A = this chain, B = another copy of it.
Amino acid sequence: MNPTTCADILARVRSARPLVHHITNCVTINDCANITIAAGAAPVMAAAPEEAGEMVGAAGALVLNIGTLSRDQVESMLIAGVRANELGIPVVLDPVGAGATRLRTESVARLLDRIEIAVLKGNAGEIGTIAGTGGRVRGVDSGGVTGDPVETARECARTTGAVIAMSGATDIVTDGRRVVLVENGTPLMGQLSGTGCMAASVTGAFVAVESDRTIAAAAALAAFGRAGERAAAKASGPYSFRTGLIDELFTLTEDDLAGHTRVRTIDGL
């Protein structure tokens, strides 16, 4: 994976300005809307069952996030996800807190069973839980996996058929065979609520314009991580970091991204 690939995809997002439809949690929904704009795309949030399927018809991607799920909201996710599949619109799923409660674990299983997920973006504990190889989750925080993280991600990709984007100090992106490690980012990401959700929104924007989902997801995490690095250099704490994160992604030049993308591939990509 060439470092200029990330910059190329970012340029395509900004040019196409895809609509990214979200059905997401109420904690970080505002930051998700704004990071989508900062990435160069257009957000819309529409969860009512009467319109979720209709709205997705205008979208370039659908992002589902179970951070504050309810039974009704999962039904809307199913309607929108099935419709997205019919239309060939890629679906990103963020399984927030899978493993923490039965409702979350079972809801993710239902979504994976009924919808073809393009990219499943979660933390290590969530991905380990879904892979069935062991993952620890407390609330919405990862407690890590049993065994090797790369193999966990690969197993999860094989089990679910989705590209896995596992966030961490090094992000791991894999389709089960190919693996890309993304080292852009900053520890401040872990001190701000919603960075995982925002990463999924950026991933939605990138998969809307790039059909190789492994490449798209890795590029999204690199761009988001690079914006975070620039923001962290000026931050005094989590909220000045957040301000910088949005501003820096919005103003990130393709040259800066091409020059600072830190991706490594395993098994060639």
Contacts and interface: CB of A to CB of B under 8 A. Distances in A.
Given A29-B27, A30-B28, A193-B33, A139 B239 contact: no
B34 A192 contact: yes
Q: From A28, A34, A55, A102, name the one whose CB has the most chain B CB atoms within 10 angstroms.
A: A34
Given A19-B139, A27-B29, A50 B103 contact: yes
B42 A237 contact: no
Contact of A21 (B33, B51, B139): B139
A75 to B, nearest CB: 12
B42 A68 contact: no
A240 B243 contact: yes
B138 A58 contact: yes
A68 B242 CA distance: 24
Given A37-B193, A51-B102, A51-B104, A68 B97 contact: no
Given A28-B30, A54-B101, A139 B43 contact: yes
Given A33-B193, A58-B139, A237 B48 contact: no
A211 interface: no
A146 interface: no
A46 interface: yes
Nearest to A43: B193
Given A55-B139, A71-B48, A102-B51, A251 B236 contact: yes
A139 B239 CA distance: 28
Contacts of A157: none
A27 B27 contact: no
B236 A247 contact: yes
B139 A34 contact: no
Nearest to A33: B193
A77 interface: no
A101 B242 CA distance: 32
- Shortest 4 CB-CB distances between A and B: which pairs? A237-B247, A44-B139, A33-B193, A239-B246
